[in-house]
Every structure is written in structure tokens, then in C-alpha cells.
Amino acid sequence: MALSIKAARAALRLARQPLHVTRANSLNVVRPLAASAHVALQRRGYTSPASLKNNTLETRNTVVQLLSNIGSKREVEQYLSHFTSVQSQQFAVIKVGGAIITEKLPALASALAFLNHVGLYPVVVHGAGPQLNKMLEAAGVEPEYEGGIRITDAKTLAVARQCFLDENLKLVEALEALGVRARPIHSGVFTADYLDKDKYKFVGKVSSVDKRPIEAAIAAGCLPILTSLAETPSGQTLNVNADIAAGELARSLQPLKIVYLSEKGGLFNGETNEKISSINLDEEYEELSQQWWFRYGTRLKINEIKDLLGDLPRTSSVAIIATEDLQRELFTDTGAGTLIRRGNKLTAKSSISEFKDIAKLTAALQRDLSFASAESPKAAVEQFLQKLESSPFKAYADEPLDALAIVHPAAREGEPAFLSKFVVTKHGWLSNVADNVFNNIKREFPKLAWVANTSDEYLTWFFDKADGSVMAGQNVIFWYGFEGGLEEAAAWLKSQGYNTAKEPSVSSPVTGVKQQVRAFSTMTRPRAFARGYSPRNQSRAYSTDTGALPGDTNPNPPLRRGRDATFQPKKVALVGARGYTGQALISLINKHPYLSLSHVSSRELAGQRLQGYDKADIHYSNLNVEDIKKMQENGEVDAWIMALPNGVCKPFVDAVVAGGGAKEPGSSIIVDLSADYRFDDTWTYGLPELIKRNTIAQATRIANPGCYATAAQLAISPLLDNIAGSPTIFGVSGYSGAGTKPSPKNDVENLTDNLVAYSLTDHIHEREISRQLGVDVGFMPHVAVWFQGIHHTVNIPLKKEMTSREIRNLFQDRYAGEKLVKVVGEAPSVKKISGKHGVEIGAFAVHSSGKRVVICATIDNLLKGAATQCLQNMNLALGYDEFEGIPLD
């Protein structure tokens, strides 16, 4: 939540009152994460191999709660968004040296068993160098090396093969003893050519990797344990260095992490002998390569890793760690060994003209809540930039602007500089760009201050970065670099208008975990005493209607209701209550804390008592247009739901309008579930995840999207800028989508062992999807024998080559914070979505050309495809929380 200048100045005006000062670790900022993380885990649909134990999800919940209570929010989100959203084999490649198996086998097996028990499947590649040397010595074979490469003749190869099999079996048996299914894979993965047959004999250079044995092992619920032996196309076994084999495997699998287990536990600075916590290659490699100790094995290792990461997505990283630190490296911010990543090269600018792309800068700043909550975010940013041009500042950013910081130098000697903007995308803080930016700031500004709100979900990071802090109402002022310590800080605070009742406190990590210097950030707040650096229109920052936070990747997040929220009861009339959707709506309204049914109309059920509704004794009526007009004139109804077949709704809508409704703000709203008004620009299309929520909140006539159309749009929308040609959608629905009127499409006998295609071109949903997305699509609907639930298989041609992970990240970013959209790693299933209120999107299968992706989406056609979405729209339009009365599971 961004802190506006107005709000910040108000905080500083607390000088008129004694200031409450607290120690950093007295703030309760970590405990609530356990519950929220548990909810987050339940919202994302996780998949695992068919044979995975039934308690996997429960175990994952335990991991999340554990991280929540001993670590940071980022550690929880890292586990959730990274490790459980990718296909299993893309989690991590772990290279194990032979000495590790000999000396630390119990610790290694225990660490791998833990990962497996929480549903993760690292791919393990091991060497056996020390063991091979002993076996060769016992066999009377003298090892030979050329340029650091073992010359492998026929006798050496025979011994090596036996050695690898023995060590592989040791690790597999150790895992099996801990209840972990493990599969030894000795061959079939690496194909190689001779490196130089005359020189090295049976030494190979990997030419290709076959992932199928690995995928088959994971599908069977087994950890794949690989040796580094390879074969030529003709079947000759070749010896391959285990480090090289692990690298080639990583290039093929594109994992999130590549881990090299090392006895030393990391790389060390040759001058200080301190362990290097992290290396950001794009930013630090040039300087690093000029150090006198950057040579021999260290240079070779880092250069190999640099080449490897150059072939992997920027989100991938390499960790060099000790065996006992494996879990800590994978699950915590602080890490344990040396983390190497590409990162992004940072630049520093001191004028607006130095930014080559002002539009890109403007878009980045609009993510800050102080701008996002303005009536015109773009205008607010432009005003801010105009003021910035006449003020001294230093801006730090990476090339894609995943992190952008603006620092104002101290106005007077002895004062701290002030960090007024720190806008970071989700990718920026998950991939450590924010930390790199902050470190650059710290190098140039030895004394700095910034302000955060106590409700900030990332407050722990600020405490970890600060030397001290002081509470000011609902805000915390942080600083570092006061040489005089707390006494100097107190004097500075007093000079800014504070009347401190107590001394400021020293900040210490709230997590309670000793921190390595490897942290992650999100955003900081405008200075309470900044000299006109922030734009006007910031008074809404704490008000009501935007859910956007600095760094948000979702341009249309759920609204956060504040002073404008209503808790007043409202009356709803349901016209067309007999169908399946009508019944689903009755059930939802029955559990809604503020909505109640005043009238339920059905021609067929008129006079019968309404079943499944406990708030009042209501009987079905058969409302005609005159009844509706009179009810509207008398103000009996706050919201009308038209759950009627296509082509039937208009007379009833006209009656509401004639009675004075749906005209003026504050009058009755109408939500139409048919297709009658989805192509009418005078009505608001009600898909909250894609249509601006403020627009829906101000609407009085809302056209509820179709069920097929909702899932299809959500499955395509994040890729709109990358689409080449027309997407095609193969949709299959349960027979409830065909309504209650008997037809071949809802005849169970006809549907059994059958799939019924219909309206294969020009279906109304085809036109609806095309109109809303602005791109022509092909839609082919089918009906199957199950009752409710839809499955879409969407084929999308792409303008440029993209990877599965890049596309999945786009979707995760676009739907960040959405309570009814889950982005999952593998293809979602109808069985899991039936009876649920959201949409699941997954698969992200990319063609070998990189120019075509297939995405799968599932939705319950009666709930999020109709009734639940209707309730979302009503909640927004009536002033309630969008998800009021909707079970979030």
C-alpha cells in the first residue's frame, strides 16, 4: 500500500503527540502469513504424479505454515509460485559429487527425501571420481589425465561403469530406506559423440538429451537418479564429466534451480576468505573477472555457469552449496551457499532525458499505488515527472524496469537521502533485482531514510534493510547510516518535527533467522517530509477502490473496499428461477450475508414453495411485465437477475426501465445472464478479471458473459500482444449447459460413450470471444456425458518464439491476486473444477518451434460460468466486497 505525501505528512504531524516507538521485532508482521499462505495454497491447484501419497497436499500446507512462521513472505511465495507451478522435472537438477555419496550419504538422502515428501522431484546426477580412483588403484590401473580430462581406455571404462552402478545403487537404496521411491537410470538419457577418440579414447561430449526416462520415473512417483554415463548413437558407452552432464541436462529441462553440492559449500572471495553469497553476472561479472583471485578453478567454474545460464531463462539460477544446506538454499531468502544468476545490468540516471523510453518509465511508475489510485494514473505520473525534472534525484533501474528506485539527495549536510519511489514487479523481487538495486543505492548513499505503512505485507524486508526504525501512528520510518546511532537518529527525527516520547529502536530481522546478505524487496513509500516530489490526487491512496499495489503485475486487481463499502441489506428479484443456473443462484444468495430474495419468478413452478432457501418463506410467482414495472416503481427491488433463455429478456428489461430503474446512479441494477445484451455497448460486459472493476462497480446494466466465453477469454487474454493469427478453441461441456429442456444434447443415454459436436462455426460464444478480445477465434463446442464443468483446449499461434515458462509467468503475473483464477503447471481437469467457483488454467505446452502454445482451461459452467460470476458483478455494483458470499476454495 503506497503512502501518499498527504498521508505521510499527516504522520509527521504526530509531533504534537508523544510518539510511540517500538522495536522492530515487536510488530506482528509474520504470524498472519500462515493463514494467508494456507489460503493461497488452497487457491492454486497443485498437481502431482498419480502415485503420490494422499498426504502430499497436507504436507505442503505444513511447509507453507512452517515457512510463514520462521521465514519471510517471499519464502512462502517462492515455494508457492515457483516450486509447485512447474512441471515436476523442471524443479531442480542436482549434481552430486562422488565424495558426497561416500562421506555424506545419510545427509544427502535425508535432504532429497524431504523434497520428495513435499511433492518435489529434483533430478539427481552424480559422479564417482574418488571412488573410481580407488577402484582403478585396486585394479592396478594408473589414472591418466590430459588437460584435466581423465583418459578413459577400455579397462578404465569397464571399471568406471561398475563404479557408477555401485554408487548409484548406494544412493537409491538409501532413499528407499527412507520411504522414497527412487529409480536408477544408468543409460538412455545422454547421447554423446567422442570428444577426441585418439586423445581421450572413451570420453564423450553430450550431443542430445532424452527426457523420457526422467519423465517416466517422475510420472511413477520416483526420484530419478542418473549416472553421467552416455552412449553413442551406435550404443558404445562413453564417460562424461558429471558437471558437464548436469549442465546439458539443465539445458534440456530448463529447471528453476541447478544445484552443485560441494564439500566447501560455496565459492570464496580469495582476498577476504569470506563465502560469496551471490553473484549477479550481468551486473558483477566484469568487475569480478578483474580480481586477482579470479583464476584457475574459480574462473573455469564461473565461466561454465555463465555459459549455462545464458542458455536458460533469467528465472533460473545455479547454487553451489553444502549437502546439509540444501533445504535452506531452496526454501529461504537467505540461502546458504553461493547463488549465481544472470540478473539484469543496472543503470543509474540523474535526469528524465536519460530514459530512452518515457512511455515505459511512465508505465512502470503507474504501478505505484499513489499513482494507480489517482483518477488518471498516467496524468499523475506525468505531473510527477515534470516536478522531478526540476529536482535533484538519482534513479536506479534494470533494463526491463522490473525494479525502479528514485532517491533524493540530502538537502543539508548530515541529513539522510530519501528513497521516495521503489516500484518492483513480482518478477523483480522474486528474481532478486530489487535487492541489487537497493545494494547499489547503499553504495552511493551511506545514509538513507524511507517510510512504510505498518500494514505493508513486506514490512519484514524493510526491517532487515534498516539500522533503525520508529513508529508514527500507522507508519514506520526506517533509516540506515546514522554514525551517531540512536542518539543521532532521535535528533534528526526531532528536527523533522517529532516530539519523541521514547528513543527510536534498532531494527533487527523480524524473521528471527540469521540473515545472509541476500534479501528481496517490493516497494517503499513516499517521504512524509518530501519537498513536493509526489503528485496531487494522492488522497485516495487509503480510500476505497483500487487493489493495485506498487509492483503489482495485475493491471486490474480485485478492489479493496474502504469507506465506500456498504453493509446494508439489499433485495434481489430472480426472473427465470427454474433452470440450473437459477438454482445455483438461489443457493449462493441463501448464504450471502447481505442479499435476500424478494421475488422468484418461474412460469412452470408458480405457486410452489421455494426449496433450498432458508431466509424467508417464499413461493414462486409468474411475474409479467406489468408486475415488474409496478415493483420497480414501488422500489421493492435493488437488483434484478434475468436468468432467461436467449431472446426472451428484452420485455422484462424494458419494464424495469419503464418503472424508473437502471437509469440513475443508485437505482436498481440489472444483471442479464442471457446473450441478449453482450453485444450492446450501452451495457457493461461483466467479466471482472478482464473488465475494469471500477467500470462494473459503477454500472447499472450488466451483461453476464457466457460460460464457454469466460474460460476462453481468461485462457487467451494474457497472450493478446503475442498472438499471430486466430486461436482455436476445442470446448467440451457437461450436459447441464444444454439446459433443462429435453434435447439430444442433454440426453444421458445419447451422450453415454459419445461426444456430441454442435454449432461448429459461428457459435454465439465464438462471436462473443472474438468481440471482447479483439481477435478472431475459432470455437468448436461439444457436449459430453458428465453433468457440469467445461474443458477448453486452446491452440494459440505466436508472433515470436516463447518458452512454456515465459508463458506461464505471463499468466501468473496477469492473474496475481485473483481469487477465482488459478494458474497451474499441468493440464487442469473437469473432475477437479466441478462444483468449484473459479477457473483453472494450465498445460502451457509449447510446440518445438516455439511459435505455438496449447493451453487448457476448466470452469464450472453453472458457477463461475454463470451464477458465481453474476454474484461477483452484483457485489461490485451494489458496493459489497466482490467475493462476498462466494466460497473461496
pLDDT at 3 over 50: no
| Cβ neighbourhood burial of 102 (10 Å; 0-12, 13-18, 19+) | middle
Which sequence spans correspond to the domains of the chain?
Answer: 34-85, 90-341, 392-531, 570-703, 708-863
Angstrom distance (rounded) from CA 285 to CA 307: 12
Instruction: Give the model's pLDDT for residue 730.
Output: 98
Q: Name the CATH code of domain 708-863 (choices 1.20.1250.20, 3.30.360.10, 3.60.20.10, 3.40.50.720).
A: 3.30.360.10
pLDDT at 526 over 70: no
Give the closest residue to 27 by CA, choosing from 454, 505, 456. 454
Angstrom distance (rounded) from CA 432 to CA 691: 32
| Cβ neighbourhood burial of 354 (10 Å; 0-12, 13-18, 19+) | exposed
Structure-block grid coordinates of residue 19:
510518539
pLDDT at 530 over 50: no
From residue 803, alpha-carbon distances to 318, 723, 780, 799, 851 in Å are 19, 14, 27, 13, 9
Confidence grade of residue 15 (pLDDT, cut at 50, 70, 90): very low
304 CB neighbour count, 10 Å cutoff: 14
Decide if 431 contacts 805 (C-beta within 8 A).
no
674 CB neighbour count, 10 Å cutoff: 19
> Residue 475 contacts by C-beta under 8 Å, 6 or more apart in sequence?
3, 7, 8, 11, 451, 452, 453, 454, 525, 528
801 CB neighbour count, 10 Å cutoff: 11
Give the closest residue to 253 by CA, choosing from 165, 302, 204, 190. 190
DSSP code for 540: G
Query: 430-461 burial, b if ≥16 CB within 10 A, otherwise e?
Result: bbbbbbbbbbbbeeebebbbbbbbbebebbbb
Q: Three-state SS string across 10-65, please?
A: HHHHHHHCCECCCCHHHCCCCCHHHHHHHHHHHHCCCCCCCCCCCCHHHHHHHHHH
DSSP code for 515: P
Q: How many H-runs (helices) and E-runs (strands) does the chain carry?
A: 31, 35
Instruction: Give the model's pLDDT for residue 271.
Output: 82
Residue with more model confidence, 754 or 473: 754
Give the closest residue to 240 by CA, choosing from 229, 255, 231. 229
Residue with more model confidence, 547 or 691: 691
The helix or strand, by DSSP H or E, that contains position 452, with its residue range, turns out to be strand 448-453
pLDDT at 393 over 90: yes
pLDDT at 621 over 90: yes
Angstrom distance (rounded) from CA 368 to CA 551: 7
Question: What CATH class is the domain 570-703?
Answer: alpha beta
609 CB neighbour count, 10 Å cutoff: 10
Tell me the pLDDT tens digit for each residue of 227-272: 999 999 999 999 999 999 999 999 999 988 899 998 888 888 888 8
Angstrom distance (rounded) from CA 277 to CA 279: 7
Tell me the pLDDT tens digit for each residue of 816-836: 989 999 999 899 999 999 999
Classified as helix, coil or strand, 236 is: coil
Angstrom distance (rounded) from CA 299 to CA 569: 70
Q: What is the pTM of this model?
A: 0.51
Active site residues: 707
Tell me the pLDDT tens digit for each residue of 319-337: 999 998 887 777 665 567 8
Residue type, 796: I
Superfamily of segment(s) 392-531: Gcn5-related N-acetyltransferase (GNAT) (3.40.630.30)
Helix axes of 281-289 and 296-310: crossing angle, nearest 10 degrees: 150
Q: Is 82 left (phi over 0), alpha (psi -120 to 50) or beta?
A: alpha
Which of the residue ranges 550-564, 574-588, 664-678, 786-800 would you say has the lowest mean pLDDT? 550-564
Angstrom distance (rounded) from CA 519 to CA 157: 46
The beta strand positions in 222-324, using DSSP E, are: 223-227, 229-231, 237-239, 257-261, 278-280, 317-321
Decide if 663 contacts 657 (C-beta within 8 A).
yes
Tell me the pLDDT tens digit for each residue of 89-130: 567 899 998 889 999 999 999 999 988 887 788 999 999 989
User: What end-to-end distance do the CA atoms of the chain give, in Å?
Assistant: 26
The CATH code belonging to domain 90-341 is 3.40.1160.10
684-685: strand order across its sheet: 595-601, 570-575, 639-642, 669-672, 701-703, 684-685
Confidence grade of residue 661 (pLDDT, cut at 50, 70, 90): low
> Any idea what the Cα angle at residue 46 is, between residues 589 and 558, rounded to 5°?
45
Residue with more model confidence, 856 or 8: 856
